[in-house]
Structure 1
Amino acid sequence: MNTKSRTCAGRLFMGLDFSTQRLKATLIDSSLGVVHESEIDFDRSLPEFKTRGGVHRHSDGLTVTAPPLLWVAALDALLDAMRRRRFPFKRVACVSGSGQQHGSVYLRHGADRVLAGLDPALPLRGQLEGCFSIPDSPVWMDSSTSAQCRARDRALGGAQAVAALTGSRSCERFTGNQIAKIRSKQPEAYAATGRIALVSSFCASLLIGDYAPIEPGDGAGMNLMNLRTRAWSPAALACTAKNLAARLGAIVPSHTVIGPISPWFAARHGFSRACRVVAFSGDNPNSLAALRLERPGDMAISMGTSDTVFGALSSPRPSATEGHIFGSPIDPEGYMALIGYKNGSLTREWVRDRFAGGSWPQFERCLAETQPGNRGRIGFYYREPEMTPPVFRTGVWRFDCRGRPIRRFNEGEDARAVIEGQFLSMRLHGRNIGLAPRKILATGGASVNRSILKTMADVFGAPVYTSCRPNSASLGAAYRALHGWDCARKKRYVPFMESLRGAPPFERAAEPDPALRATYDPMLERYAKLERSI
């Protein structure tokens, strides 16, 4: 287990992130400083589950699952290790958490009684082993439910109708379609199921010793929740499975204190009986909380293996062709939009290796030595089939200033074309679902490259900030624990940033050149037209 700590006094707030490959804990104090971080790597620390990258990939090439008992065992291991290091659990005032989105856990009838009666002399794992009606949980990487997605489209009036109702088109990884598959393929297991939880609400159930509710940030990733009412849609439930509402439980606001911590945690690990638990959410909503994207116009770009664009919205514009809209985890009346790209850092690295000598300094020189707008030249670089927009062919397409295909660019122009192209795509598709940034927070590996950040600022016409804090999902969960605790203490909803006054500022890393709007605004429209031609 990896651990970092510093000494502090006073109340602590704990964020847990049950991600795909590991469990992470981040604890902050009342002044919002990080005082402790720990993590358990599933493959390395729990090899008996035989996961690779935290999952099991099935022989059909489509089904991807993870055993929920793995997450239980990881929580045992993490807390046991912290206790051995004499971590002061008694000072933890509140806990919240994050789970990989869309994954689902199927608990047998009566599992709530097992949760309520846990023996503190024994670890969680052995006591919960028999509680699952489905021993392997479908996770976000699963793509085996195309038939169920098409059935949902037919039942609800088409792909755009599904998006308008639930915030997203019917997606194979979304929980409702996974439930429909299980109800169809494993009817006996479905009948034996008393509660269907998300990864987030299942892990919250462990903490409170009872079934935990779902909140709108994660609940929107199911194709089951009415996005605007933040309640289950009867029509969406009806086309999924019989008697589903009772199995799902309630949806509650994200800042809700869902209960005191289970007596098991107090007796075994020394948590205070006064410790409270705030509703858990998904990893993307918690990352939005960590980056404090509270107001419309606040947007983040995460540049990793895949790229993700997400931000706050006041008026959702769901689309059947791109992006997703979720309930905001930090504003009970707000929304968040998210767009994902498969062609992220690996595509940038391919261009670097092929056209910049494999060197990031040389890549930066290429950006510096070519003019913004690339003399009107636009490139599309798809090393992987892309999901935004859906492009199933891979390859490179280059166009001159008149939109004519050309075989190659001049030296250095590929480096600028891949960066400008990726940011033009983000600006275009973000605009299509309502994201219009007034400021951008850049995270991920590529955010250390100042030339890339300057290009980002110029393409969007907005200043770019950076954050040095890793583990955004667990940090966001810790922030949400403090916020929910503050709301409960004051017996009213407290604006998120009122609770987070004093949070460390982000670094202003790049400013846009106002003169370049005349270059990038018309270039965006040309880019959109060329994208449709591929």
Structure 2
Amino acid sequence: MSLFAGIDAGTQSVKVVVYDAAARSVVASTSAPLELISGEDGSREQHPSDWVHAMQACFDRIDPAVRAQVAALAVSGQQHGFVPLDAQGHVLAPAKLWNDTSTTAECAAIMQAVGGAAQTIALAGNPILAGYTASKLPWTRKHRPEVYAKLAKILLPHDYLNFILTGAYFCEYGDASGTGWLDVRTRQWSKELLQATDGERDLSACLPPIAEPDALFDIAPLVAAQLGLATTVKVAVGGGDNMMAAIGTGCVSEGRLAMSLGTSGTLFAYADRPIVDDAGAWAAFCSSTGGWLPLICTMNCTVATEQVAKLFGFSTREGDVYIQATPPGADGLLMLPFLTGERTPDLPLGKGVLAGMDTDNMSPAHFYRAAMEGATYSLKYGYDAFVRAGMRFDRILLTGGGANSAAWRQMVADIFELPVEAPKQSEGAALGAALQALWALGNAQGETTTLRELADRHVTTDPQLAATPDPDRAAAYRASYQHFLQHLQAVTPLYRG
């Protein structure tokens, strides 16, 4: 049994890959869509039962003979979600997600209770930003008092799927650091922030224990039967989707920079020590490998390109044709793609902005390019903070759905002026979960392979997907990016709230 499954529960879909460790190849890959519940107040929610049904659907589409050979699996989950359970483990309400901005006021209230954003960073390494789990608790107390009254357990989406798979409550350091409650320096829950979030109860009693990166759990026999898996399958601890994508792209040692182009856009780099910014310019997260993962997150990446494509009646699969028909800078058309608020830059109440329209650039191709450029410039804005802090990188490892676009890969190379590589397996988070399961099971069986050695062995890039910066395009993008920053500065006062 040398097959390992990775389950990636994202915002738009659940994906499952099955990896053959001996052949070093993915032997099965399936996905099932998810629906998003959106509200005018900025709320973004999903029913946790939908994740379970989607996971079941994914396994149902995999050959039973393949499923029978799975030795271990792990879950990658969208970060920051709030899954409230009662004492019997029943879900009490839809899960509020990472891109939910309805709790912005609660973020400020929690930080004010401990003395402000600077003191919050001093206590835990991160400010409480819109979308983080912490702010969802006081929102629930105010808007869903019946849920708050019955609340016994707080799980993240990744934790909830692990609970379904094993019947056990546990979380892990990487995903837990995205709650806003974990002191990333000590890897302990911050008593001060828990108290500031809810002074009416001991919140620590609602949080699951934190499992070590190499922990293994037994799969529940009934769930194994439902998924067509052996009852001997082990469930590794898994982690947040960005933490699993770090493993799946080989970003498990210093000097490597990974970028994920998904619903959200992320930049993350491995560190062997906490990398905390006093101004909170990036997320000072733990990794799921025993280290740390400084991370930049934008809330609008493929969201922007998909919305523009939908507006003009074409598919993003056709998007590269539109990019090739337009020049860098979109002939002056500029988009600030803050369609769902924004985290980087920190504008949770932000809205999308189109600027520079004239009679020559009001075409579907120009709008699509402006959306892709705007999403990439937002990531560049965060990357600049990394560089100012002294971090240096020699290439970008690209993953996520946007990485399937040759035009986007080239755009990233030109805007960041760094070579771009893409792993052969584009589903970096799902592959990372499978590799973590492989590593954890190997450890339990007495192997001494480090996670870095394992990633170097199993994560390979595709030379045909590589991109190198073009000097002329890079110069054009530098000028366009400056216009982005100027417009950002101009609209920031409008959306500060």
Distance of aligned partners of 1:519 and 1:165 in 2 relative to their CA distance in 1, 3 Å threshold: farther
**Is the Cα–Cα contact under 8 Å of residues 251 and 269 in structure 2 kept in the other structure?**
yes
> Alpha carbons of 1:74 and 1:270: their partners in 2 closer, same or farther (altered >3 Å)?
closer
Structure 1 residue runs without a partner (length 5+):
1-9, 43-52, 112-130, 399-405
SS in 2 for 1:442: strand
Question: Among 191, 194, 209, which residue is 1:250 paired with?
Answer: 209
Cα displacement (A) at 1:321: 6.3
Q: Who is 1:20 aligned against?
A: 11
Residues 483 and 496 of structure 1 are in contact (CA less than 8 Å); yes or no, is this contact kept in structure 2?
A: no
Q: Does 1:238 align with 2:192?
A: no
Q: Secondary structure at the match of 1:238?
A: helix
Deviation at 1:364, TM superposition (A): 2.5
Secondary structure in 2 matching 1:27: strand
Aligned position for 1:345: 305
Give the conservation status (yes or no) of the 8 Å contact 1:156–1:235.
yes
Residue 56, structure 1, aligned to residue 56, structure 2: no
1:152 aligns with 2:110: yes
5 Å-filtered alignment, 1:179-194, equals 179-186=137-144, 189-194=147-152
Letter in 1 for 2:380: R
Report how far residue 272 of structure 1 moved. 3.9
Tell me how far apart the structure 2 counterparts of residues 389 and 350 of structure 1 sit (CA, whole Å).
25
TM-score w.r.t. the length of structure 2 is: 0.79
Q: Which runs of 5+ in 2 are unaligned?
A: 492-497
Q: Secondary structure at the match of 2:194?
A: helix
Distance change >3 Å, CA 531–CA 379, structure 1 → 2: farther
Q: Aligned-pair distance for 1:323?
A: 4.1
Letter in 2 for 1:317: V
The reply on whether 1:437 has 2:393 as its aligned counterpart is yes
Task: Please give the residue correspondences for 1:512-527 in structure 2 after superposition, counting only pairs within 5 Å.
Answer: 512=469
Q: State the TM-score, normalizing by the size of structure 1.
A: 0.74
- Offset of residue 232 of structure 1: 0.7
Structure 2 Cα separation of the partners of residues 383 and 453 of structure 1 = 19
The answer to whether 1:481 aligns with 2:434 is no
Tell me the residue number matched to 1:509: 466
Q: Answer yes or no: is the 8 Å Cα contact 1:15–1:26 preserved in 2.
A: yes
User: Are 2:60 and 1:87 aligned?
Assistant: no
Alignment map for 1:102-141 (pairs within 5 Å): 102-111=80-89, 131-132=90-91, 134-141=92-99
Against the structure 1 CA distance between its residues 360 and 77, is the aligned structure 2 distance closer, same or farther, given a 3 Å change threshold?
Answer: closer
Distance 1:366 1:139, change over 3 A: closer
User: Do the aligned partners of residues 147 and 29 (structure 1) sit closer, same or farther apart at CA in structure 2, a change above 3 Å counting?
Assistant: same
* Aligned with residue 285 of structure 1, among 237, 243, 254: 243
CA contact (8 A) 2:99 2:131 kept: yes
Quote the offset at 1:421 in angstroms: 6.5
**Residue 326, structure 1, aligned to residue 285, structure 2:** yes
Q: How does 1:18-417 map to 2 (within 5 A)?
A: 18-31=9-22, 32-42=24-34, 53=35, 55-58=36-39, 61-79=41-59, 82=62, 85-111=63-89, 131-132=90-91, 134-186=92-144, 189-211=147-169, 213-241=170-198, 242-253=201-212, 255-266=213-224, 271-303=229-261, 307-314=265-272, 315-318=274-277, 322-329=281-288, 331-342=289-300, 344-345=304-305, 360-361=320-321, 363-364=323-324, 366-367=326-327, 380-382=334-336, 384-385=338-339, 387=342, 388-390=344-346, 392=350, 394-397=352-355
Task: Give how far 1:292 is off.
Answer: 1.8
Q: 1:105 to 1:517 in 2, by over 3 A?
A: closer
The amino acid across from 2:15 in the alignment is K
Query: Contact 1:479–1:500 at 8 Å: present in 2 too?
Result: no
1:24·1:37 contact (CA, 8 Å) conserved in 2?
A: yes
Question: Which amino acid is the alignment partner of residue 383 of structure 2?
Answer: G
Taking only the aligned residue pairs, the percentage that are identical comes to 26
Secondary structure of 2:382's partner? helix
Q: Specify whether residues 530 and 240 from structure 1 end up closer, same or farther in structure 2 by C-alpha distance, changes over 3 A only.
A: closer
Matches of 2:150 and 2:164, distance apart in 1: 20
Q: Given the alignment of the two structures, is residue 494 of structure 1 paired with residue 439 of structure 2, yes or no? A: no
Contact 2:399 2:428 survives alignment (8 Å): no
The size of the alignment, in residue pairs, is: 471
Aligned-pair CA distance for 1:154: 0.6
Shift of 1:428: 3.5
Name the amino acid aligned to 2:324: E
CA contact (8 A) 1:428 1:524 kept: no
Query: Superposition RMSD on alpha carbons, in Å?
Result: 4.0
Structure 1 residue identity aligned to 2:461: P
1:340–1:394 distance in 2 versus 1, CA, 3 Å: closer
Change (3 A) 1:274 1:337: same
Query: Are residues 100 and 333 of structure 1, via their aligned partners in 2, closer, same or farther at CA, if it must alter by over 3 Å?
Result: closer
Q: Cα 1:285–1:408, aligned 2, differ >3 Å: closer, same or farther? A: farther
Q: Which amino acid aligns with 1:108?
A: D
Of 380-389 and 139-148, more deviation after overlay is shown by 380-389
Displacement after TM superposition at 1:207 (Å) = 1.8
CA distance in 2, matches of 1:323, 1:146: 18
Q: Return closer, same or farther for 1:389/1:351 CA change in 2, 3 Å cut-off.
A: farther
Q: Which amino acid aligns with 1:26?
A: V
Task: For 2:41, give the aligned amino acid.
Answer: G
Determine which structure has more spread, i.e. the larger CA radius of gyration: 1
3-state SS of the aligned residue for 2:64? coil
